[in-house]
Structure formats: structure tokens, C-alpha cells
């Protein structure tokens, strides 16, 4: 294994040496990955984590630091080296910090020794400790047995290897449904927390519902009232086929005094998520998508009056992370023309209800996210196409200043890529933004090979993200011009632009890609005889679709976890609400949706004539591996030069360090074979 890994490193280094100076696959995995955890109530300190990877051990570790928000030297919250730290948060003041390690919650008084808060069998997750009048309230999630697990009668058959299901969803993203589900739990603790918690209350006892909402739910799925009297939480109170076909998450309010639970999100049938109490405890907010089954709808900012028991829907937009700064002010991010700026919501409360006015706060060619606010302080994560996430704080005018500079020493010595903003006219007369990422040390007089980047999602903006796989800086550093269109179906350009992809995957969005390539190929610095197309998920679908309609525009393709045969995909994927909305329903509907008749890439394989590499994770249940196998087999039977790269222990993404290094090596070796 060591010899194979050394060979991969040498191959990758060879690729880099023949390309422009700048980012390399090895350096990409040496970067510290920064993420914000919390800001103290007094606004004086922030907590953030740095994840680093050991390529030889094929593992990563996250350590948490405290830093003054006015600037200063970050300090580790713990001196122990026995496991990653996560979920760090302040408990009442800026000196008391709780955090997770090895599935249990720990507590640290700054300058003192850390001590255990929990000692719960099999561990907990998503924990938050909050001071109350009488002590502390602990909220967390915990795995519990399902009520009706079909394999329990066979517990004596230890050597049997079988899965038995009577309903959907029997698997989700990269996990098979098992004997356990996860519930929201609470525990009351004394002020001094002498003994670790072992006894707790399950708020969902007797149900097979899952908390937090899979697959991406977390601590943002609940909020604790400032006085510790209530807990607001998100729940999708459905199981089986209903869960598979619904986006109807709802907001529930639990009263600790009466031990009663009330649903407060009303008759909305789309996603309701990210509940947060206002600092004065009078209101609860959340984001609410109005259309049932549409996971990428725009969201209303909802403010619920706890005294009147009434929800007020305010502004609708493609909102993301937010936090209350005071009782009338919320800082929030949103998609806006391929960037994610910070906006300030100024709330007004009157007899007729609650209204909100949005005011631009921190803008620029950046992606902001994970906003946290303390007294007089706003802190957020920030990234762009040339720089990974660091932590920033803001002055009153929205000017940002870096609190963390984890990767600054590396990027200070590295040439960056110029990012050009091009606007082209689409085939139906609309204006489309295309990002063009140029190699470091770009020479306008030379010609470069180019890559058309096809975005996944499908409703996921080509904004200022810094990916650790689909990394534009890395691609450009290998000597490629990257063409990244914000084609139809992306947020940030209006509701209609975002909606135009649903039911029309192979129509205007694919035409937008061809327009982008045709217009950029006119640039004197792009060699139109050396253009490839790459992408994952819907981007991988786009690659397969383009392979049948490109008419010689591309010299090679790479598709990662792409959808190839739409009927078989509908029959094997798991989140049916997504398939029903974006494909227009199941393939047996009458009339048959055109997604199956006109927009299934397998139907155009007779037009395939260009080398293609297919990459897939065998644990990908979102786009099952059979999609990639069918595409590779079709290409080989057609006599097309093709390669299949399978990762048995990866799902929709490549997450393990050495697998990622293999991915990058194969990716650039294939491109260099046909485009260099």
C-alpha cells in the first residue's frame, strides 16, 4: 500500500511540475479547514475549529480555538490530544466552554481543568449546554432502537447476513436503515455539574421519527429559549414512503414546565428549518419554503410571536445562515448573482404584525456563511475561489477583518487565479453570468486548454465556493482555463431562473452550457480544439447528456456520480420528493414526463464518440452506482476509450484523504491525456 501511495504522489507531482505554479493536490490536503463554532454572549470571543489531515494515516482531526473578536492570538481550548473536538459553545459567559469529544460533552472553565458533562452509553451528538435559573439545561440527540425492527426475531442467527424491509426509505444517501434511529433528548443539571449525566428524557419516545432531520440536520435543528423554558425544534413527523416523498418538516415548541409539545408552523407543506429565539425571548424565527416537495425553493423569513401564538411571514429570498444581533436586528446571508453576501434585516413590530426591511451589509466577490452574533459583534465564515474558509468579523459598515489566518502563510506565497466575470446571451435571449478562472501567471497571448465545469445540485449556485475536490484554483494551476456558467436552475438570479430547470433538465440548462462554451471558445486565449467537460451529480448528468449532443465541441468528458438512465434512477434513488419535483413525477405517469422521453442520457448513446471517464462511489444511494456502471458499459460497447474509477467505501462524495488523492490523480491524468 505504501508503494502504491508513493507512486500516486509521484504521478501527481509530475502533473504539477508540467503545469502552472500554484495549487497542487498535495497542498490542497495540507490546508487547515476552518469552521466557526460560536461567539460569546458579550461578543468578546469567538470559537472556531481547524481540521487537518494525516495522509499516511488516512484520517483527520479537528481542534478548537478561542480568539478575541477584536484581534489577538488564538488559543487551544484543551491541551488533550485524544480525539477531535466539535460543537464548541460558550455557556453563559466568555470563559466557560462546552464541547464534544468522543461522543461525550466536556466542560472547560478557561484557565482550569476540563471535566465530563455526560457519560451516556453509546455516546450523544448535537449537544448544547445552557445556563438556567436553577442550573443547566442540556439538549442533545441520541440513537435509540426502532420500535419494529424486522430482524429482531433472528437475533440468534448470528451468521445470517440479510436486510428485510416493508417500507421506504430503506436507505438514505450512504446509509442503510438499521435497528437504530435518533431522537431529541434533554437533561436537567445542577449549577456545579458534579456528576456526569447518565439519565435523560427522550422527547420523542415511542416514535420512529428521526432527529435531526436526515441527512444534513444538526444543531441548527433546535434552539433553546434564553430563559431555558422552551425548546423549539424541527421534525419531519413521517416515516416510510411518506418520509421519502415529503419535504414537510415542521416546527415544534416544547414547554419544559408543562412537558407539552405544540406544533407551530401551521399548514405550510414545504421545508421549515433553522429555528432561533430572539435575544429577548419574545419571538421565534425560522426559514420556510412554501412549495411542498421542492427542496430548493426560496424561503420566507418567519417571525413567530410567542405571546400571540402567531406566525408572521416576512421577506422571501434564497436565505441561508442567520443570527439575531438584538431584538430588532438579524444578520442573514443569501444567494445573489453567484456570491453569498450578508444582509441586515431590520424588523418592525406593530399592531398589524411583523415586517422586515433588508439592507446590504457585507458584499463583494465572496461567500459568507455560518453567521454568529454576540453583543455588538458579528462573526462569519468567508471564502472565495482563491481562498478556503477563514473567520471574519465586521465593523458597523460591514467591512470585514480576518480573525483567523490559518492558511495565510501558504497563500501569501502562492500566485492566485484571475477570476473574470463574463455575461453571455443564451439561446432564448437571456443574460447569463459565466465565471472564467485563469491559470496563475496567465499570458493573454498564449492559448490554453479549457474545462467546462457543470454544476451539481441542480439548484446550487456557482458562487465563490472553495471546494476540496472540484477546486477551480487547482484546475487552473494545472494550466486549464475553467469555464463555470451559472446556467438555468441556479439561485441568486431570481425565482424564475431558479425554477426553470425543474422538469427540463436536458433542455435549456444544457443549451446554456453549449452557449457558454461557444462564446468562451471565441476568446483568443482558449484553444477550441482542447476543451473538456467535467461535473458531478446533476453536473455528471450534464456530462452524459452533452456527450450525446455536443457535435464535436469537446475532446473528453469526466462524469462523477452522474445520472444516466432516468427510469432506473427513479426506481433506485431514495428521496422521491426530489425526483417527483425535478423530473415531473414517476416514469409510469400518463402522460409520461419528458424527463424520461427526451432527457435521459442513455437514449443518446448512439451519438457518443468521445473519450469519457466515469467515477462513482459504491455507497452512493442518492445516485446509485448502477448509473455509472451503465454509462461505462455503454461507452465500452461503443468502442469509446473510457475508464471506470470506483470507490467501494465512498458515497456521493469522496471524503477519505487517500481516496481523494487517487481521485485527483486520475482526474488530471485523464484530462492531460486528451487536452495537453
Q: Structural domain tally of the chain?
A: 1
Q: How far apart are the first and last CA of the chain?
A: 30
Which residue in the list 136, 183, 550, 652 is annotated as catalytic? 652
> Is residue 139 in a domain?
no
In terms of residue numbers, what domain contains 512?
415-675
Distance CA 140, CA 211 (A): 10
pLDDT in the model for residue 6? 43
Question: Cell numbers at residue 636, please?
Answer: 465500452
pLDDT in the model for residue 142? 98
pLDDT in the model for residue 652? 98
Q: Is 654 left (phi over 0), alpha (psi -120 to 50) or beta?
A: beta
pLDDT in the model for residue 268? 96
Question: Cell numbers at residue 197, please?
Answer: 449525566
> Which pLDDT band, with edges at 50, 70 and 90, does 82 fall under?
confident
The answer to whether 175 is a known catalytic residue is no
Q: Please tell me whether residue 75 adopts helix, strand or coil conformation.
A: strand
> Which pLDDT band, with edges at 50, 70 and 90, does 136 fall under?
very high
- The share of the chain scoring above pLDDT 70, in percent, equals 97
- Alpha helix positions (H), 448-589: 472-477, 495-499, 508-520, 538-547, 566-570, 576-583
Distance CA 107, CA 92 (A): 12
- Strands 400-402 and 96-101 come out as unpaired
> Is residue 533 in a domain?
yes
**List of long-range contacts for 401-406, beta carbons under 8 Å, 24+ apart:** 401/71, 403/46, 403/48, 403/67, 403/69, 403/71, 403/379, 404/34, 404/48, 404/50, 404/65, 404/67, 404/74, 406/31, 406/32, 406/34, 406/50
Sheet containing 400-402: give its strands across.
367-374, 377-384, 387-394, 400-402
Distance CA 22, CA 45 (A): 34
Burial of 496 (0-12, 13-18, 19+ CB in 10 A): exposed
Burial of 95 (0-12, 13-18, 19+ CB in 10 A): middle
What letter does residue 329 receive in the DSSP assignment?
Answer: E
pLDDT over 80 at 16, yes or no: no
What letter does residue 336 receive in the DSSP assignment?
Answer: B
> Which pLDDT band, with edges at 50, 70 and 90, does 81 fall under?
confident
> Is residue 440 in a domain?
yes
Kindly report, residue by residue over 570-593, the tens digit of the pLDDT: 999 999 999 999 999 999 999 999
Kindly report, residue by residue over 112-121, the tens digit of the pLDDT: 999 999 999 9
> Is residue 594 in a domain?
yes
Distances (CA, A) of 33 to 62, 149, 283, 443: 9, 39, 35, 32
**Sequence-separated (6 or more) residues with CB below 8 Å from residue 127:** 87, 98, 100, 105, 118, 138, 139, 140, 141
Structural element, H or E, at residue 401: strand 400-402
Helix axes 538-547, 508-520, angle to 10 degrees: 70
> Is residue 449 in a domain?
yes
CATH code for the domain in which residue 437 is found: 3.40.50.1820
pLDDT over 70 at 14, yes or no: no
The answer to whether 620 is a known catalytic residue is yes
CB atoms within 10 A of CB 394: 21
> Is residue 1 in a domain?
no
> Which pLDDT band, with edges at 50, 70 and 90, does 19 fall under?
very low
Kindly report, residue by residue over 436-479, the tens digit of the pLDDT: 999 999 999 999 999 999 999 999 999 999 999 999 999 999 99
Distances (CA, A) of 199 to 117, 119, 124, 186: 12, 9, 12, 9
Instruction: Tell me the average pLDDT across 161-171.
Output: 96
pLDDT in the model for residue 132? 95
> Is residue 263 in a domain?
no
> Is residue 188 in a domain?
no
Structural element, H or E, at residue 668: helix 657-675
- The share of the chain scoring above pLDDT 90, in percent, equals 95
Q: Is 70 left (phi over 0), alpha (psi -120 to 50) or beta?
A: alpha
- Alpha helix positions (H), 20-101: 25-28
> Contact at 8 Å (CB) between 460 and 578?
no
Question: pTM higher than 0.85, yes or no?
Answer: yes
The answer to whether 537 is a known catalytic residue is yes
Which residue in the list 37, 297, 323, 620 is annotated as catalytic? 620
Which residue in the list 537, 542, 559, 595 is annotated as catalytic? 537
Question: Cell numbers at residue 630, please?
Answer: 451503465
The CA R_g of the chain, rounded to the nearest whole Å, is 25
User: What is the rounded average pLDDT for all residues in the chain?
Assistant: 95
Instruction: Tell me the average pLDDT across 332-350.
Output: 97
- Alpha helix positions (H), 460-507: 472-477, 495-499
Distance CA 390, CA 368 (A): 10
Amino acid at each position: 500500500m505504501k508503494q502504491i501511495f508513493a507512486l500516486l504522489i509521484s504521478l501527481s507531482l509530475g502533473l504539477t511540475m508540467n503545469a502552472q505554479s500554484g495549487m497542487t493536490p498535495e497542498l490542497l490536503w495540507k490546508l487547515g479547514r476552518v469552521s466557526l463554532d460560536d461567539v460569546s454572549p458579550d461578543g468578546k470571543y469567538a470559537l472556531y475549529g481547524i481540521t487537518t489531515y494525516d495522509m499516511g494515516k488516512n484520517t483527520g482531526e479537528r481542534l478548537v480555538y478561542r480568539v478575541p473578536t477584536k484581534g489577538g492570538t488564538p488559543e487551544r481550548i484543551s491541551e488533550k490530544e485524544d480525539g477531535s473536538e466539535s460543537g464548541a459553545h460558550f455557556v453563559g459567559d466568555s470563559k466557560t466552554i462546552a464541547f464534544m469529544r468522543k461522543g461525550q460533552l466536556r466542560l472547560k472553565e478557561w484557565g482550569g481543568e476540563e471535566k465530563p458533562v455526560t457519560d451516556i452509553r453509546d455516546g450523544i451528538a448535537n449537544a448544547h449546554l445552557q445556563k438556567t435559573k436553577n442550573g443547566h439545561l442540556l439538549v442533545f440527540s441520541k440513537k435509540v432502537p426502532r420500535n419494529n425492527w424486522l430482524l429482531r426475531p433472528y437475533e440468534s442467527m448470528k451468521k445470517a447476513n440479510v436486510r428485510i424491509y416493508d417500507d421506504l426509505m430503506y436507505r438514505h444517501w450512504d446509509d442503510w436503515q438499521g435497528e437504530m434511529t435518533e431522537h431529541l433528548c434533554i437533561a436537567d443539571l445542577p449549577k456545579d455539574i458534579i456528576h456526569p449525566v447518565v439519565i435523560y428524557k427522550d422527547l420523542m419516545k415511542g416514535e420512529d421519527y428521526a432527529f435531526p432531520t436526515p441527512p444534513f440536520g444538526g444543531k441548527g435543528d433546535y434552539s433553546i429559549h434564553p430563559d431555558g423554558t422552551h425548546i423549539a425544534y424541527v421534525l419531519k413527523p413521517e416515516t416510510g414512503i411518506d418520509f421519502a416523498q415529503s419535504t414537510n418538516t415542521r416546527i415544534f415548541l416544547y414547554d419544559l414546565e408543562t412537558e407539552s409539545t405544540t406544533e407551530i408552523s401551521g399548514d405550510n407543506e414545504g421545508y421549515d428549518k433553522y429555528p432561533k429565539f430572539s435575544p429577548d425571548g419574545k419571538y421565534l424565527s425560522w426559514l420556510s419554503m412554501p412549495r411542498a416537495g421542492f427542496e430548493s425553493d426560496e424561503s420566507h423569513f418567519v417571525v413567530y410571536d410567542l405571546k400571540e401564538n402567531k406566525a408572521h411571514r416576512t421577506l422571501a429570498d434564497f436565505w441561508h445562515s442567520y443570527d439575531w444581533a438584538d431584538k430588532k436586528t438579524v444578520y442573514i446571508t443569501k444567494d445573489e448573482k453567484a456570491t453569498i453576501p450578508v444582509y441586515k434585516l431590520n424588523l418592525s413590530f406593530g399592531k398589524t404584525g411583523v415586517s422586515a426591511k433588508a439592507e446590504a451589509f457585507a458584499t463583494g466577490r465572496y461567500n459568507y456563511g455560518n453567521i454568529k452574533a454576540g453583543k455588538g459583534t458579528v462573526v462569519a465564515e468567508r471564502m472565495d475561489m482563491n481562498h478556503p474558509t477563514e473567520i471574519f468579523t465586521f465593523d458597523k459598515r460591514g467591512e470585514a477583518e480576518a480573525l483567523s489566518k490559518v492558511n495565510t502563510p501558504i497563500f501569501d506565497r502562492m500566485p492566485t487565479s484571475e477570476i473574470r466575470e463574463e455575461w453571455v446571451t443564451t439561446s432564448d435571449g437571456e443574460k447569463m453570468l459565466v465565471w472564467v478562472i485563469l491559470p496563475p501567471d496567465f499570458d493573454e497571448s498564449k492559448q490554453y486548454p479549457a474545462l467546462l465545469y457543470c454544476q451539481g445540485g441542480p439548484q446550487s449556485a456557482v458562487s465563490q465556493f472553495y471546494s476540496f475536490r472540484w477546486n477551480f484554483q487547482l484546475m487552473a494551476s494545472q494550466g486549464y482555463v475553467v469555464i463555470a456558467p451559472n446556467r438555468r436552475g441556479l439561485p441568486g438570479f431570481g425565482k424564475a431562473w431558479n425554477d426553470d430547470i425543474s422538469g427540463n433538465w436536458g433542455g435549456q440548462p444544457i443549451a446554456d452550457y453549449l452557449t457558454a462554451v461557444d462564446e468562451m471558445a471565441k476568446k483568443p486565449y482558449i484553444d477550441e480544439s482542447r476543451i473538456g467537460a467535467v461535473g458531478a451529480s446533476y453536473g455528471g448528468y450534464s456530462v452524459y447528456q452533452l456527450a450525446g449532443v455536443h457535435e464535436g465541441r469537446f475532446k473528453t468528458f469526466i462524469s462523477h456520480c452522474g445520472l444516466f438512465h432516468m427510469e432506473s434512477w427513479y426506481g433506485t434513488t431514495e428521496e422521491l420528493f426530489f425526483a417527483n419535483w425535478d423530473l415531473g413525477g414517476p416514469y409510469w405517469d400518463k402522460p409520461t414526463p419528458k424527463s424520461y422521453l427526451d432527457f435521459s442520457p442513455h437514449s443518446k448513446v448512439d451519438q457518443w464518440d468521445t473519450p469519457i471517464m466515469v467515477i462513482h462511489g459504491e455507497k452512493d444511494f442518492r445516485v446509485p452506482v448502477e448509473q455509472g456502471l451503465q454509462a461505462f458499459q455503454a461507452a465500452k460497447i461503443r468502442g469509446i476509450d473510457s475508464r471506470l474509477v470506483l470507490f467501494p467505501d465512498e458515497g456521493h462524495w469522496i471524503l477519505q484523504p487517500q481516496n481523494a488523492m487517487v481521485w485527483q490523480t486520475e482526474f488530471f491524468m485523464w484530462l492531460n491525456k486528451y487536452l495537453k
